[in-house]
Structure formats: C-alpha cells, structure tokens
Amino acid sequence: MFSSRSIFILFAVILFFVFSATAQEKLGPGCNCTPDDVLIDLAPANQADLPAIAAQYGLIPTPLSQVGTPPTFRMRIDRTKTNQTPLEIIQAMAGDARIVQKETNRKLTVVEKDGLPWSLGHSWAIGHSWAIGGSAKGFARQYFPGQIRLPEAHKISTGQGVTIAVLDTGIDLQHPLFAGRLVAGYDFVDNDNDPSEVGTIRVDQVYGHGTHVAGIIALTAPNAKIMPIRVLDQNGEGDLWRIKDAMLWAAKNGATIINMSFGYPQDLTPQSNTFLHDLFNGVDDVVVPGEQQFPEFDDSRLLVVAGAGNGGLIGNGAARVYPAAERGALPSDPGTDIDDNLLSVGASTRLDRLAAFSTMANVQNRDIDRWVRVVAPGENIVSSLPGGRYGVWNGTSMSAPIVSGIAALVKSANPTLLLKDLVERVEETGHEWDCQLPSRGITMETSRVDALCALTNNQACAPPRTACTE
C-alpha cells in the first residue's frame, strides 16, 4: 500500500510534468522564446499609447525595461488577463499601425549543442590522438595557424591595444592560457562580476564552450585582451534581451570586437526579426537618420563576428542562422540594408574545403543571399577547456574566434580603420571560393580568410584557387 506521503509526492510529480508540458505548449509551435515576454516598438506618434496598447493585448502596462530612441519596450504578459502565448499576442498585433515592430524574446544557444533541429551538433572530445594528446603542445602545433599564415602575420601584428568581448558560456578564469590576457568581464546569467563557466566537463555537453572559443582568440591574437561575458547558461541558452545587455556592457567597457558563437534559426512567423539588426546598426560606423538610435552605447563602435551555424546539408536560404544572417537582407524584404559591421563566418576543413556541417546559403542573387561572408578553419580545432585542460571541438563556433582574432590583428595595425573597411579587408583578401557544390545543390561564393593577406591588404596575396571540390 502507498502511504499518504507517497501518494502526495506522486501527485506532485504528475502535476509538475503536466504543468511543464502545458507551459511548453503555451509557447506555441516554433516559438523557442521566453514564455512571458514581448518586445515592441511604437510609432513616434503613439508613444503615449503604451498603457492602452498594453491593456488591449494583455500586457502589464509598465515595461520591464527599454532601450533605444524611439524605445524598444520589453513587456511582460499579464497572466491574470490572458493565457495567450507570446506568438499569439504578436499575431494579434498584426495590422495595428501603432506598433511598428513586434517580436518575442527569442532564446538562442551554442550551435554545437546536440539535438538542435537546425544544427548537426558537433560536440567536443578530449585527447584526440592526432592533436598530440589534446595538450598544450597540440594546441600550439595544430594545423590552422599554418593554413591561414598566422606565424607570418604575427611578425606584423599580435593584436595589442584591441579588446575582444567573448559572449558565451563564460570561461575558466584560472586557465594558464589566459594569464595576463583578460580584462574584467560580467555574468549576465547570475548577474555578478564572475563570468566563470558553470557545469561539469563530460556531463554538461556545452560546458567548456566559452573557454574553448576564448582560447582560439588567445592563439590567433596573442596580445589582444579578452573580455569574458557570460550570456549563456549551463544549458548553453540565452535570450535576445540578455545579448543586448551584454553588448551595452562590452561597449561601455572598451571592447572593439564582439565574438558571438551562438545563434537561433530563421523564424517565418509574423515577427519583425529586427531587434539585433537594429542593435548592430546602433554600433556601426554610420548612424542612419530616421533609424532607431542607441544613446546607451555612448557613441561606441563595435565589430560583431558571428558563427553561421552547423545546419550542414540543408545549405539553402531557408537555413539562415541568426545573428550571423543579419549580414544579408531579410527574406521578407530584399530591399533592406546589410550590417557593415558584421562578419558572418562559416567553417572550412583541414583539407581546405567547406566543412560538411557548415551552413552556407545558396547564392542565387549575389547581392542578397551571400550572408556567409567568410569561412575559417572549424574542423578539429584544439583549444582550452576548463580545469587547465585542452580538447578538440568542431563547428562554426570555432571558426568565428579565428576571424575575431584576425580582425584584431588588422585593427591593431590600423587603429583608425573604419569597421566597414575592416570587414571588407578581411573578406576581400581571403582565398576566393566561388563554385558549385552538387551534393548540397548550391552555388557557393565566399572566401577563406588569410591573416597575412588581411594585414598587408594585398588582394593578390592569396594564391588563386583553381578548383572548389567537396
């Protein structure tokens, strides 16, 4: 016979799972977002209508927070007034001329996490034999520095005077690799000054991700400073508003480059999909009249480097992964501008080919669809892991920090270089890849980065690529 206590516990467990399933269902199909947030921008003439708009759509009248001018409001759903999901509320706002932009507070995650429907999920492994035991020696002797001519580039620049903010899972602050290389960071998950990684190696599948990314930067730009900012939790997840907070903090504390080795898939619902796009414009070289301004950035300018995702064989326009895909025009509006301060990065292999897991758009219209601007080595990359360890990871998350490091080398050697010119320098001096990939059904146009050519700005520096095989 069950005791009354056992029956109570069993009932509580059942309630928990029923509630959890119901809560997930309330998010709506395809909405990987925080369950009670909606982000809205109002037309300038309707700013005073916020309380009435909130009442109409079941939102708490006082915003949780806001950013920008005119502001983007982060609104909380009033669960005493409505049971609608964030997506349902967004859909109900369609056609309301008072609301010019509306989207959910979407979640994002490291693109190497297993089980993602939009990523192949390439996990890390410790002690690959080819990596000389996954050791510090293997880290120093791996293939990619030679492939991108990093030793030659270091004779010109090592990144001194440039700070790279790593928005990720945090890092192991005590790892010997980072001695003398760190500046103060912040933890936007626990809201404290300790951006250390949280988790257990080999148990939590994304534990070590931020440490690995930061180690690649340390190798590529050894005299650049690394600013560790924890925006992803133990499960490798964050959200749009947290990224905004991290960008503001990084800008105000001296970052020049931001590395984003995370993403979220293209959303085909009636959302605006413009929050990060507007933020990136807010720290671009040129402030566009009439667009949303962000005085919170204090006139800072930031280069954003983002991994393009591991969708692999999908490989077409519908496979866009954001924020990397902010580089191209929105599919719903081909006339939109691109972000001149964003470098979207795919992955190449040890054999200098496009990695099978690397998301790459089909270049049907070369003015619109080329959102993966460059590729960099992302296969079997050795770097640091928590606890003083070294290990191997695959993914565009590993490619992005190589490009962040190269950008730091160029910026250090050319302090007055505008961000748009820095992006163009890294893109145009790489090895040109322009070819057909039959197995993926795409035409690919991109370039594989070269550190030496980027520093010397010699567009003829890279040897011509005679073939683009798979």
Q: Can you spell out the DSSP letters for 371-420?
A: ---EEEE-SSEEEEETTTEEEEE-SHHHHHHHHHHHHHHHHHH-TT--HH
270 occurs within a structural domain: yes
HSE (CB half, 13 Å, CA atoms) of 49? 14
175 & 253 share domain: yes
Average pLDDT over residues 349-363: 84
Kindly indicate the confidence band of residue 37, based on its pLDDT and cuts at 50, 70 and 90. very high
Residue 239: its pLDDT value, please?
96
Using DSSP's 3-state secondary structure scheme, residue 3 falls into coil
Range of the domain at 78: 27-106
pLDDT category, 363, cuts 50, 70, 90?
Answer: low
End residue of a domain, out of 91, 106, 121? 106
For helices 240-252 and 275-282, what crossing angle results, to 10°? 10
Please name the amino acid found at residue 178: F
How do 237-239 and 186-187 pair as beta strands?
A: unpaired
Between vectors from CA 320 to CA 240 and to CA 274, what angle results, nearest 5°? 40
Q: How confident is the model at residue 118 (pLDDT cuts 50, 70, 90)?
A: low
pLDDT band at 11 (very low <50, low <70, confident <90, very high): very low
> Model pTM?
0.89
In this predicted structure, which of 169-178, 234-243, 282-291 has the lowest mean pLDDT? 282-291
pLDDT over threshold 80, residue 13? no
- Judge if 317 and 244 occupy the same domain: yes
Mean pLDDT of 145-150: 96
Q: Which of 19-23, 304-308, 341-345, 415-419 has the lowest mean pLDDT?
A: 19-23
387: left (phi over 0), alpha (psi -120 to 50) or beta: left
More confident residue, 431 or 10: 431
Q: Decide if 326 is inside a domain.
A: yes
Domain count, the chain: 2
Highest mean pLDDT among 32-36, 210-214, 280-284: 210-214
For residue 325, which amino acid is it?
A
Over 50: is that where the pLDDT of 133 sits?
no
Q: 303: part of which helix (H) or strand (E)?
A: strand 303-307
Q: Is 458 helix (H, G, I), strand (E, B) or coil?
A: coil
Instruction: Round to whole Å and give the CA distance between 385 and 204.
Output: 13
In a domain, 461, yes or no: no
Task: Please compute the mean of the pLDDT values over residues 107-132 and round it to a whole number.
Answer: 63
Residue 357: left if φ>0, alpha if ψ -120 to 50, beta else—which one?
alpha
Partnered with residue 393 across adjacent β-strands are: 381
Tokens describing residue 225: 């400073």
Angle between helical axes of 396-413 and 419-428 (0-180°, round to 10): 120
Q: In the chain, what percentage of residues exceed pLDDT 70?
A: 81
464 found inside a domain = no
The model's confidence at residue 380, banded by pLDDT at 50, 70 and 90, is very high
Assess whether 186 and 139 both reside in one domain: yes
Looking at the fold, whether 150 and 246 belong to one and the same domain comes out as yes
Q: Cis (ω within 30 of 0) for the bond into 323?
A: yes
- Claim to verify: residue 143 and residue 92 sit in the same structural domain: no
**Average pLDDT of the segment spanning 148-177:** 97
Whether residue 313 is found in the same domain as residue 448? yes
Same domain, 206 and 254: yes
Say whether pLDDT at 73 is over 80.
yes
| Residues 442 and 347 placed together within one structural domain of the fold | yes
